[in-house]
Amino acid sequence: MSSEAQLIARMREVLPEGVRTMLGSGDDCALVAAPEGSFLVTTDALVEGQHFRRDWFTPGEIGARAAVQNLVDIAACGGSASGLVVAMVIPPGSDEDWILEVVSGFGSEVAKTGAGVIGGDITSGRDFTLAVTAFGYCDRLVTRAQAKPGDVIAYAGDIGVSGVGLALLQNHVVNPALRGAEALGFYHYPLSFYRVPKVPLQAGPIAANAGATAMIDVSDGLGIDLSRIAKASKVSMRLSRSLLKNIVDEHQPWLDVALKHLDVGQLNTCELVEKIGLFNRGEDHALLATFPSDINVPPPFRIIGDVTGGEVGTVMLDDEPYPAGGWDHLQR
């Protein structure tokens, strides 16, 4: 393993500077150009054993996941990322090339947005960890707290796909070492999506500019994240089974094949997804937003329900309670 200074120098070679970076890494602080007024800040961590297993992910996929889960938080407030800083905990004896592949995967995902990786820190510890802070800007801020009865609920991205990929690995349906469409066949899409979610980052600013009243990143599950908007906005949410089914049915060919291996009974595709809780497994990192009913909901958003004046914080599926289950780091 190189010295800290040598490793940082190698990392800087593969990380993007970003179009708004005025002074990058190398000093005690970085300097990033920002429009006048407010700016966005978010932070998230990726911990080995908690968020990923090395036998399920390539190092590049681990880095890309760490980038995605921070970039989408900026998008969920209607913004675009301008810079990210990364604190990395590296276990003693780690393979340096493996670490650099993680960093390269992180940098490649960030570079797609025009943002820069502008600094960070390295320390030694037991569990490999990436703790990321992202900065961004927006023309119009969207929070979770302004949804109104009569608004429509709309969704941008895939739903339940990441959960299928996770279930396939947990149930030993596929060899985690396999990669590519030819080797994985029908399983390629859910597995690749679970490893690095395909996130519509541009949909965040699109929603904000179109007049979205509330928005959230679907990271912990449809039920729990929708209930968070409901609680913050003091409203109730009603999902439409038929509208959700339209999204799910787009994946019917591979979904039917995948679900045959998960012992969930003989139900139609949408019921299968509901039964095994894939809507609530999280990590789809889609964007969930509410819009006034009198505007045209912009693509790639699709309407999946409406906001009502029912019991505050509740989520319904048609006329039945929808479980607000999902991922909770402290209650598993």
- Can you say which residues are annotated as belonging to the binding site for Mg(2+)? 28, 42-44, 73, 121, 217, 220
Query: What single-letter amino acid sits at 106?
Result: F
- Which three-class secondary structure state does DSSP give residue 181? helix
State the binding site for ATP.
120-121, 144, 219
Closest listed residue to residue 288, CA positions, set 175, 177, 152: 152
User: In whole angstroms, what is the distance from residue 301 CA to residue 261 CA?
Assistant: 31
- Residue 284 and residue 157 in contact, taking contact as beta carbons nearer than 8 Å: yes
Binding positions are 28, 42-44, 51, 73, 120-121, 144, 217, 219-220, 283, 327
Whole-angstrom distance, CA of residue 127 vs CA of residue 46:
10
- Cα–Cα dist 212/41, whole Å: 20
Which three-class secondary structure state does DSSP give residue 52?
strand
φ, ψ dihedrals at 83, nearest 5° = -160, 155
User: Which residues on adjacent β-strands are paired with residue 90?
Assistant: 124
- What is the Cα–Cα distance from 304 to 91, expressed in whole angstroms? 44
Distance of CA 201 to the CA centre of its chain: 10
Both structure tokens of 156: 């941008």
* Residues in binding site for substrate: 51, 283, 327
